[in-house]
Amino acid sequence: MPNTTPPPSPTLSTGPLQLSLGPVLFYWTRQRYADFYREAADWPVEIITLGETVCSRRRDMKLDDWLGIGRELTQAGKQVVLASQTLIESEADLRDLRKLCDNGDFIVEANDQSALQRLSSAGLPFIAGAALNLYNPATVGVMARAGMKRWQAPVEMSQQDLAKLIHDCHQAGIPHPCEVFAYGHLPLAWSSRCFTARRHQTPKDRCKFVCQKYPEGLVLRSQESRDVFTLNGIQTLSSACQDLRHELTVMVDMGVSVARLSPRAEGMAMVVKAFDKARHGRLPTPDPLTLVDAEICDGYWYGRPGMDNTRTMIG
């Protein structure tokens, strides 16, 4: 029988902007995960999301492993969320999803309709992931009635459209916290094909886990030699990292409750520190445009092509 004991619901933030650490999107080794979250326990983030959201063939970490890390992070004072896979492709994926949803310890971030159906039918609270594509108050209301406790804005939604959506949700009596993807390679698409395996001329079902060779993904360049995308197995990400540090006070005024930082293999402690300073109004002057060795983008936030860096354009 599934464990239907509701895990503790996240606190509805009415105070300062919270920082969340999203799930690791890339395929790391068990040791790298362990080291990363051991460090993250001391970082100034309130929420940490765990789990494999990209590919079910990444089997180094089992559910029990994630639960163990989650309990350690809880003891360190973090609110822990378990994220579901975004693309469900087999009965085995569904079995793993059921175990995840019925974990009994932590609230789950639903990233596809299978997780949503499982959680809502069991009466369990959940976080609505960005991949659910919530674009209007009617849809957010449906999620709220199904048990949603927090929702993530689609990564391509502009600040203007999001501000209107949050306002309309509050007007409709749906004051649920909203989370915005504030830093990292933007998740853009998922496919049944594995692009990294194809790059190595290897079938997906015999991939030899080649994506583990790329702890920050595989860069795809255009014919003009411009970095365009980051390939991560079956997932396509932006090549540049979105950086919305300068928008945190705007987010608070809009009613955003949580800013999500997506983990990278290197420099993440510096990223978290910079965002923590920014949410307290302590942006350095002059402010470097890059936190780590990566191009920066913020175009979607301003209603422009996602790869644009408006600060560079303005400068």
Binding-site residues = 55, 194, 207, 211
Q: Which two tokens stand for residue 306?
A: 């996602």
34 residue type, one letter: A
Count of CB atoms situated within 10 Å of the CB of 200: 13
Query: Which residues are part of a known binding site for [4Fe-4S] cluster?
Result: 55, 194, 207, 211
How far is residue 302's CA from residue 296's CA, in Å, rounded to a whole number?
14
Q: Which residues pair with 280 in a beta bridge?
A: none
Beta-sheet pairing, 126-128 with 148-152: parallel
